[in-house]
């Protein structure tokens, strides 16, 4: 399997919009209108109303087009085949609804669902007409219409993805500006605190009450600093999907929360060892984020993984993190993702290291080592 095809195969389902009853009603109304016109205008359907009603019932799979697109397409294809075999009647135009399902499986399905659905529909479009002796021109016309439906689904899928990427870029730029504002705010207030402390120390021998005045100013300045920092950090967290803006900072012990044996994809097993309370908060938060990113990458990019192991341990003056998966040997040597670069940057800021690469026993491994108390002053 080539790298582009492998990437497409492993692609997750795109985010779905909220269910719209109006859209569902329109989707079901179109086959109903077509069925009404067929009954009213076609004389060759006499004696085949049962096949028409069965086809119309299969159109109900359109309600699954966003939640279970491949299942809906499979049920419709098998059902239409059985109706065609059992009725031996003329073509029923209501069956055109299957084009909507072909669009949906590419637009809303995961990568593997889209590929399986598209290949299955093309095979169905080739085999069924050939078995029934359909002229070659009609076969090519049908395949062209099917290809247009699949292409439209792919175009809408990647249009939505491009739009989401543009929105993410805007959010990242805004977060960068907020981070700069945070730096400027802290630098300003800390400078004021330092100046006031130095002034208090300078005049304290002659005016003892000056120390008390300086402490009062420093307390007020520190309170304003903390308030502004919390406001900006709250804004930064608000941009994170599903983030609790008032949630406390993650700690090393929270790595255990990444364990998951029930969700989709490989199981995640976590072990945390050592005195987790002796780890600096900034280091614990960094280890948690690195582990979280490594688990996400294993689920998203590893090939056929069944298990992801996460082991975090406090060993003397360092904290060690190892995240491995048992997928097939990956081909990730070309280029480096932003996630890995971010993990390395986070570890380096705290005086540690973070490396990722193929594991000796197969799969992928992420290892990080950070000083337990943070970077040396």
pLDDT tens-digit series, residues 263-291: 667 889 999 999 998 898 888 888 998 99
Among the listed ranges 17-26, 154-163, 213-222, 333-342, which one has the minimum average pLDDT value?
333-342
pLDDT of residue 45: 80
Sorted by where each begins, the domain ranges of the chain are: 3-134, 170-238, 252-371
pLDDT of residue 201: 77
Q: What are 25's strand-pairing partners?
A: none
Q: Which CATH class is domain 170-238?
A: mainly alpha
Convert the pLDDT of each residue in 87-115 to its tens digit.
777 788 898 999 999 999 999 998 889 99
Tokens, residue 12: 């997750």
* Helical H segments across the chain, by residue range: 3-9, 21-41, 49-58, 69-87, 98-108, 111-131, 136-203, 209-238, 281-301, 338-349
- Report d(CA 279, CA 193) in Å as an integer: 28
pLDDT of residue 232: 65
Contact 190, 182 (CB under 8 A): no
- Report d(CA 150, CA 118) in Å as an integer: 7
- Report d(CA 162, CA 354) in Å as an integer: 30
- What does pLDDT average to over the chain? 81
Is the pLDDT at 43 greater than 50? The verdict is yes
- Report d(CA 128, CA 85) in Å as an integer: 11
- State whether CATH 3.30.565.10 applies to domain 252-371: yes
Tokens 């192991």 label which residue? Answer: 309
pTM of this prediction exceeds 0.75: no
**What confidence category does residue 190 fall into, taking pLDDT thresholds of 50, 70 and 90?**
confident
Is the pLDDT at 133 greater than 70? The verdict is no
CA angle 115, 330, 119 (to 5 degrees): 10
CA 173 to chain centre: 20
Convert the pLDDT of each residue in 3-39 to its tens digit.
677 777 878 888 766 667 888 898 899 999 999 998 8
User: CA dist 371 to 292, 316, 343, 355, Å?
Assistant: 19, 9, 15, 15
């Amino acid at each position: 399997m080539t790298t582009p095809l492998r990437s497409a195969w492993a692609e997750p389902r795109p985010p779905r919009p909220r269910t719209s009853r109006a859209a569902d009603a329109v989707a079901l109304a179109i086959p109903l209108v077509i069925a009404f016109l067929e009954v009213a205008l076609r004389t060759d359907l006499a004696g085949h109303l049962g096949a028409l009603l069965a086809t119309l019932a299969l159109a109900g799979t359109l309600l699954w087009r966003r939640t279970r697109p491949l299942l809906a397409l499979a049920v419709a294809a098998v059902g239409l085949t059985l109706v065609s075999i059992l009725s031996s009647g003329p073509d029923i135009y209501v069956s055109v609804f299957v084009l909507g399902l072909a669009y949906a499986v590419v637009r809303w399905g995961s990568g593997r669902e889209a590929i399986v659905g598209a290949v299955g529909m093309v095979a169905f479009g080739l085999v069924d007409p050939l078995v029934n002796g359909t002229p070659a021109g009609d076969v090519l016309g049908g395949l062209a219409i099917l290809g247009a439906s699949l292409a439209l689904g792919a175009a809408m899928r990647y249009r939505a993805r491009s739009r989401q990427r543009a929105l993410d870029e805007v959010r990242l730029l805004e977060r960068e500006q907020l981070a700069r504002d945070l730096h400027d705010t802290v630098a300003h207030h800390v400078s004021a605190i330092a100046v006031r402390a130095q002034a208090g120390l300078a005049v304290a021998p002659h005016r003892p009450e000056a120390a008390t005045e300086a402490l009062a100013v420093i307390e007020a300045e520190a309170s304003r600093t903390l308030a502004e920092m919390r406001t900006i950090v709250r804004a930064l967290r608000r941009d994170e999907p599903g983030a609790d803006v008032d949630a406390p900072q993650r700690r090393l012990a929270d790595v255990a929360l990444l364990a998951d044996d029930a969700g989709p994809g490989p199981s995640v097993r976590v072990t945390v060892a050592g005195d987790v309370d002796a780890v600096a908060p900034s280091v614990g938060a960094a280890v948690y984020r690195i582990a979280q990113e490594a688990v996400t990458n294993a689920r998203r990019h590893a090939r056929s993984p069944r298990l992801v192991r996460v082991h975090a341990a406090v060993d003397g003056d360092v904290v060690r993190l190892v995240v491995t998966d048992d997928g097939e040997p990956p081909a990730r040597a070309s280029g480096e993702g932003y996630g890995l670069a971010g993990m390395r940057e986070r570890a380096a800021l705290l005086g540690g290291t973070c490396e990722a690469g193929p594991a000796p026993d197969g799969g992928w491994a992420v290892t990080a080592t950070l000083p337990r108390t943070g970077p040396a002053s």
